[in-house]
Amino acid sequence: MSELPHDIDIPARRSADDRRAIRNVAVLVAAQAILGSQMPMIFVVGGLAGGMLATNPCLATLPISLIVFGSMTTAPWLSPLMQRRGRQFGFFVGALGGALGAAIAAWALYIGSFPLLLVGSYLTGIYMSAQGFYRFAATDTASESFRPKAISYVLAGGLFSAIIGPQLNKVVQDAYVIPFLGTYLAIVALNIAGAVLFFGLDLPKGTKSEPSPMPAAAARSRGELLKEPRILVAIICGMVSYALMNLVMTSTPLAVVGCGFTTGNANDIVSAHVLAMFVPSFFTGHLIARFGVERIIAAGLVILAGAGAVALSGVELYNFYISLILLGLGWNFGFIGATTMLASAHRASERGVVQGLNDTIVFGCVTLASLASGGLMNCSGGSAVEGWTAVNIAMAPFLALAGGALIWLAMKPRLA
């Protein structure tokens, strides 16, 4: 593509950049829809498959924890790899990890091996980590004004995965005599088919960086980056939003079935939850542009608190639906807001370090949340109701942490 004339005005340059960004966003939305369908499928069956193979019920959600742990340990090497080789290469690596992980998990179910299921789950975490970078890839060729919208649109692709994943799971989860074997085989196919989409991306191939509101300068160390207030608060709010969403969603299928409802009900509730995670993405970017990122993050934290309150008020089917819908909406505002705050708080030369550091911390805490979810759900009292209550009460201190961080940032003197 030929370079733009030097005398062209800035709005025209931005328009050209955004045409390229719109193309990339379209590809990433499709990838989020197709490849992303595997995540709600796994979150429905992962804990149930774990409970079927594990000798200790407290370890039922360990397969989901290993997925998140795999994502956490992948981010530190996948982000620099993308900066050297390009996003496209990293996304192919992610799809390969997802296909291989699902294939191993399917084999584990076939032979009845819980440790092998954990191995497959860990490899699935490579895909989960790569998917987390879709939102950053959306900003690589976007103008500053288009970035919040680009992030929102890409995450909105999850709207389609919320429909495709659980409904596909209903068809395939009992397709074989061995429960959930069909789910993992279908996930292998999704990864192979979805990887083809990445040939349509038009992103920087190497170490070229996206436009940045901060001047070019030497990259700061990780310690120095964490001393930057907006970076620190963005990481805390992203961590809390994602970890609490994972804490509650991981236990949801176990709670739904444990309270006397069916796996079909669990699929529908998770589908409603994932829809709530991504439908607001069509306007979250506009809300951020109008009201400011801090207010949108704060709204997300309040909605997450509301999700916990509804869950604690009863265990009827409508309680599960309303609570999980609020959980998805709160995650959307909190996580998109935190991502937007982070994207504007570092230099271009620091992109790989900051994004890798962010996802390592975020998914490290999400790993702990998913581990705690199984323990709280299955080992806190003698019933599913008591376990579900413990899961939702555990949200409170972390919401206080994120809320306190936002208040601290608001009280900091603003630099020119």
Range name among 72-86, 108-122, 297-311 with the lowest pLDDT average: 72-86
Q: Classify residue 203 by its DSSP letter.
A: -
Residue 107 is predicted with a pLDDT of 96
Range name among 6-15, 308-317, 359-368 with the lowest pLDDT average: 6-15
Q: Is the CB of residue 64 less than 8 Å from the CB of residue 250?
A: yes
Range name among 48-57, 74-83, 137-146, 388-397 with the lowest pLDDT average: 137-146
**Model confidence, pTM:** 0.73
CA distance 5 to 15: 14
Residue 12 is predicted with a pLDDT of 40
Residue 4 is predicted with a pLDDT of 37
At 415, phi and psi to the nearest 5? -85, 150
Q: Is the CB of residue 130 less than 8 Å from the CB of residue 78?
A: yes
Residue 17 is predicted with a pLDDT of 56
1.10.287.110, 3.30.1490.100, 1.20.1250.20, 1.10.1050.10: which CATH number matches 15-209+222-411? 1.20.1250.20
- Averaged pLDDT score across all residues of the chain: 84
State which of 202-216, 244-258, 294-308, 367-381 shows the largest mean pLDDT: 294-308
Q: Is the CB of residue 263 less than 8 Å from the CB of residue 48?
A: yes
Q: Is the CB of residue 160 less than 8 Å from the CB of residue 197?
A: no
Indicate whether 71 pLDDT > 70.
yes
Residue 92 is predicted with a pLDDT of 95
pLDDT band of 146, cuts 50, 70, 90: confident
Choose among 402, 187, 165: nearest CA to 296: 402
Residue 414 is predicted with a pLDDT of 53
Provide the residue ranges of all domains of the chain, joining segments of one domain with +: 15-209+222-411
Choose among 34, 36, 40, 44: nearest CA to 264: 44
Residue 11 is predicted with a pLDDT of 41
Indicate whether 347 pLDDT > 80.
no
Residues 6+ apart with CB under 8 A from 24: 137, 138, 140, 141, 201, 202, 203
pLDDT band of 196, cuts 50, 70, 90: very high
Task: Pick 183 or 339 by higher pLDDT.
Answer: 183
**Mean pLDDT within 248-273:** 88
Residue 75 is predicted with a pLDDT of 78
pLDDT band of 213, cuts 50, 70, 90: very low
Cα–Cα distances in Å, from 173 out to 50, 54, 136, 258, 367? Answer: 14, 19, 33, 19, 25
**Mean pLDDT within 4-12:** 37
Helices 114-132 & 62-85, crossing angle to 10 degrees? 40
Residue 2 is predicted with a pLDDT of 38
- Tell me the residue ranges of DSSP E strands in 222-266: none
End-to-end CA distance of the chain: 37
- Cβ contacts of 146-149, under 8 Å, gap ≥ 24: 146/14, 146/17, 146/18, 146/21, 147/340, 147/343, 147/344, 148/284, 148/285, 148/288, 148/289, 148/293, 148/336, 148/340, 149/285, 149/286, 149/289
What's the number of CA atoms in the CB half-sphere (13 Å) around residue 211? Answer: 16
CA distance 238 to 234: 6
Buried b (16+ CB within 10 A) or exposed e, 28-60: bbbbbbbbbbbbbbbbbbbbbbbbbbbeeeebb
The number of residues in the chain equals 416
pLDDT tens for 363-404 read: 788 888 888 888 888 887 778 899 999 999 999 999 999 999
Range name among 49-63, 124-138, 140-154, 383-397 with the lowest pLDDT average: 140-154
Indicate whether 226 pLDDT > 90.
no
Q: State percent of the chain over pLDDT 90.
A: 38
Indicate whether 264 pLDDT > 90.
no
